[in-house]
Amino acid sequence: MLFLSDPLVVIPHAIALLLLSGALLMLRRWPWVYALSLWPGTVAHELLHYVAGLLFGARPLSLSVIPRRKPDGGWLLGSVSFARLRWWNSVPVGLAPLALMPAGGWVFAVSCAQPVLSGSAWGMKLLAAQCLLAGWPSPRDWAHAIVGLLVLMALGLLAALALARAGWVAI
């Protein structure tokens, strides 16, 4: 992928990706259009939560990818509920959608091999935008993960202090 080192190739493709991402985000004015335009990314996002829940013992109970209106007037594009979400498995389960970010980067890189105005390049950029937008964890995902992250940081600090006290590590 030597073409990725040429700014004259990458910059127009990056502008196209930003335009597509911006266009998708502008659709928020029309909730159903927005939900439908992001549906493939929503499905991937929720499936990653579900699979991570299976792998880390959180016991997924239900999976929904049907958009619905919340009581506060906002929209919920998808959700997964778990029976055993604990501090130690909330980090990989909550942050699982971040796995879409490198996928989006890879699809974008592949699209740069196409002419910038070709339909295939724009289709790949649309897929890359889906991955990048859906890959960011929701505020609720972060809320679940932050507890586990704080506990893991505290345990890491305690372990480092114990090792330093034993003389195995200099802090």
- Side chain identity at 99, as an amino acid letter? A
CA 22 vs CA 5, 15, 17, 33, 63: distances in Å: 25, 10, 8, 14, 28
Question: How do residues 36-88 score in pLDDT, each as one tens digit?
Answer: 999 999 999 999 999 999 999 999 999 999 999 889 888 889 999 999 999 88
pLDDT class for 10, splitting at 50, 70, 90? confident
Instruction: Tell me the pLDDT tens digit for each residue of 108-150.
Output: 999 998 998 899 999 999 999 999 999 999 999 999 899 889 9
Residue 114 counted as domain residue = yes
Count the Cβ atoms, other than its own, within 10 Å of residue 108: 23
| Partner residues linked to 82 by β-bridges | 60
Range(s) of the domain holding residue 82: 2-165
Q: What pTM was computed for the model? A: 0.84
Residue at 60 is within a domain = yes
pLDDT tens column, 88-101: 899 999 999 999 99
Q: Considering the domain boundaries, does residue 120 fall inside one?
A: yes
Residue 92 in domain: yes
How many structural domains does the chain have? 1
The pLDDT of residue 40: 93
Give Cα separations from 80 to 14, 102, 140 (angstroms).
33, 23, 11
Is the pLDDT at 3 greater than 90, yes or no?
Answer: no
Q: Does some domain include residue 171?
A: no
pLDDT band at 4 (very low <50, low <70, confident <90, very high): low
Q: Is the pLDDT of residue 5 over 70?
A: no
What percent of the chain has pLDDT above 70?
95
pLDDT more than 90, % of the chain = 68
